[in-house]
Structure 1
Amino acid sequence: MSAPRPSTVRQYDDGVDSWSIVAAPAAKALAGLVSSYASYTEKTQSFGARRELASTSGVLIFALDEPLSIVGADGIEIVVKAGEAFIGGAADATSISRALGPQRGLHVFLSAAGLAAVCNAPLAEIANRVLPLSTFRSTVARDLGARLVEARNADEQFDLADQALMHWFADVPVFDKTMHWAMEQFQAAEPAAVADIAKEIGWSRKHLTQRFTTLTGHSPQTYRRLARFGRFTARLMARPTDSLAELAAETGYYDQSHLTRDVQALSALTPGELRASLLPGLGGFRED
């Protein structure tokens, strides 16, 4: 018998809105491609939609209950029903997710290499977009979705996802290691300059920019900016009462005015408005 999978549970219930999330690591065989899973249930009455903020992270979510509407950063809406999934790429603007009833689902946390492997396509093809998973994997996506709907608990969902993803990833091309390294450098807490990364690789800055943009759909400078914004929003969620100036300094902004410009450009909100949209219990950011 295999050892039980370690997991953590996070719950919130104020009598109006409630959600429960069971998180656990993916199988070791998926290391470098899938880091973890989150099985969730949710019922909300005080709000109907969330802001899914600009980010370097892609997303893969299976809907397992009532339909879920998602409007991508490109303004195009898709709706996924029980057993269906959507995939989204790194985005430099906000997407909106709207629950069309009580929600249950499985969130698969993928690396850039894992996202490319699921799509079996360049990341640039899904940058700033959300698409049905069936666009890339039709029969196997429907099969996994149906099994996930019938799973009795989170552990069964995680096991089913492990098995399916290991099968999907068996015959995909190896992700560009040089670009993967560059992406990691740009996501670091103290990211190197684009010119320094190019020099380390042995390329010109122009060549790095062309290769990086062709692969990811975003320039190195935009990617660095998105990573910094992601660090700020993560700190804001974890420490919502801290001063914005302090959070700005901790996450790589020169000053609060620099933070304000970035937040407005990437979320269409001021930092204060973004903080005001925070949901309790690490629930994300509300849209309405």
Structure 2
Amino acid sequence: MLAPSPRVQVVRQDSPNGGWMLALGQPDPRLSGYVRDYCGYFEKTPHPLRRRELSAPQVVLIIDFGPPLHLLDSRDGSLVARHTAGFVAGLHDTYSLTETPGTMSGLQVNFTPLGGRLFFGLPMDELAHRVVGLEDVMGSDGPLLREQLLGLPGWEARFDLLDRLIATRIQAARSVPEWVDWAVRRLVETGGRVEAGTLAEELGYSHKHVIARFREHVGVPPKLFSRICRFDGVIRQLKAGARPDWGSLALSLGYYDQAHFIREFRQFTGSSPGEFLRQRMADPSGMSGV
């Protein structure tokens, strides 16, 4: 049996015009290599609200309690999709754009790339750079999971259910090669500061073989995964409240120079670092990168 669900941390902010709530939870420790965290959420605003959802070294499962999020084209803001039960987002090389109709409620599970591979039972390159409806990934099990979660009395019970379901599906899945697991952890732990060629040499495989297996089990080649890990390091520092000297931050995280850092930052966020930071300060809920 899995251990009891960890304590749930609830953060709220209310105002005359609405407010938001986050229920933050960690998975059972035995799932730590597969699930990064859980987040239940509710938000109400007086008008529709758009956000940029940023790349991170994770596969995201959104279970939508309603109304459903609108997924928009980041180039022109046009509606791309609206998935009633929820959706799954694989690794991306840029940001995604979402819009709420003024109210949203749901639950987010952030899988590690290999956790997503095992839980969904799909080659991750089928999900990379895509947002796919929950029913298209999980079949009838997706809407059923949504109804089960909605029927539970609180966030702790919901996270307990997710612990059990994820453990069951992962135990039944085909394992991922140990060297892929090792390579992914190495890139995450170093913040992406290992060159793809060096990684292949350390593993004793050809560069081509490493790229192919990464595409299958992670979704993207190791070079792009390294870039995502490095960018995630930037966002983690900003979420921790840092008001950094951008040049020093760039060098500390492995960028060649500040110009390299700014190019990468624009690729992943669509804006300059300064503009991004101003927008983030205007969104204190922390429910997105903006």
When the two structures are superposed, what TM-score results if normalisation uses the length of structure 2? 0.87
Task: Map Cα deviations across residues 140-161 of structure 1 (whole Å, 9 max, x no partner).
Answer: 2221111112222111211222
Task: Map Cα deviations across residues 183-229 of structure 1 (whole Å, 9 max, x no partner).
Answer: 22222335222222111111122332333234433222111111111
Percent of matched pairs sharing the same residue: 25
Q: Distance in 2 between matches of 1:137 and 1:280?
A: 33
Partner of 1:131: 132
Counterpart amino acid of residue 83 in structure 2:
V
Q: Distance in 2 between matches of 1:285 and 1:249?
A: 22
Over 3 Å counting, the alpha-carbon distance change for 1:65 and 1:245 in structure 2 is same
Query: 2:7 aligns to what SS in structure 1?
Result: coil
Offset at 1:247?
A: 2.8
Counterpart amino acid of residue 230 in structure 1:
D
Q: Distance in 1 between matches of 2:208 and 2:5?
A: 49
Counterpart amino acid of residue 264 in structure 2:
D
Partner of 2:252: 250
Task: Map Cα deviations across residues 228-259 of structure 1 (whole Å, 9 max, x no partner).
Answer: 11111221232253332233233222332121
Partner of 2:101: 100
Counterpart amino acid of residue 46 in structure 2:
Q
Partner of 1:19: 20
Query: 2:138 aligns to what SS in structure 1?
Result: coil
Partner of 1:77: 80
Partner of 1:144: 145
Query: 2:105 aligns to what SS in structure 1?
Result: strand
Map residues 1-288 of structure 1 onto 2, 5 A cutoff: 5-16=6-17, 18-45=19-46, 48-71=49-72, 77-81=80-84, 84-189=85-190, 191-239=193-241, 241-278=243-280, 279-286=283-290
Task: Map Cα deviations across residues 100-156 of structure 1 (whole Å, 9 max, x no partner).
Answer: 242221111211122112321111100010111211222222211111122221112
Task: Map Cα deviations across residues 154-184 of structure 1 (whole Å, 9 max, x no partner).
Answer: 1121122223323333421112321222122
- Is 2:5–2:159's contact at 8 Å kept on the other side of the alignment? no
Counterpart amino acid of residue 260 in structure 1:
I
Over 3 Å counting, the alpha-carbon distance change for 1:97 and 1:5 in structure 2 is same
Query: 2:277 aligns to what SS in structure 1?
Result: helix
In structure 2, stretches of 5+ residues that fail to align are none
- Is 2:20–2:285's contact at 8 Å kept on the other side of the alignment? no
Counterpart amino acid of residue 145 in structure 1:
R
Query: 1:277 aligns to what SS in structure 2?
Result: helix
Over 3 Å counting, the alpha-carbon distance change for 1:280 and 1:53 in structure 2 is same
* Between 11-20 and 258-267, the greater mean CA deviation after superposition: 11-20
Q: Distance in 2 between matches of 1:80 and 1:235?
A: 32
Query: 1:70 aligns to what SS in structure 2?
Result: strand
Q: Considering only aligned residues, what root-mean-square deviation do their CA atoms show, in Å?
A: 2.5
In structure 1, stretches of 5+ residues that fail to align are none
Offset at 1:88?
A: 0.8
Over 3 Å counting, the alpha-carbon distance change for 1:47 and 1:273 in structure 2 is farther
Over 3 Å counting, the alpha-carbon distance change for 1:12 and 1:241 in structure 2 is farther
Counterpart amino acid of residue 261 in structure 2:
L
Q: Distance in 1 between matches of 2:93 and 2:236?
A: 16
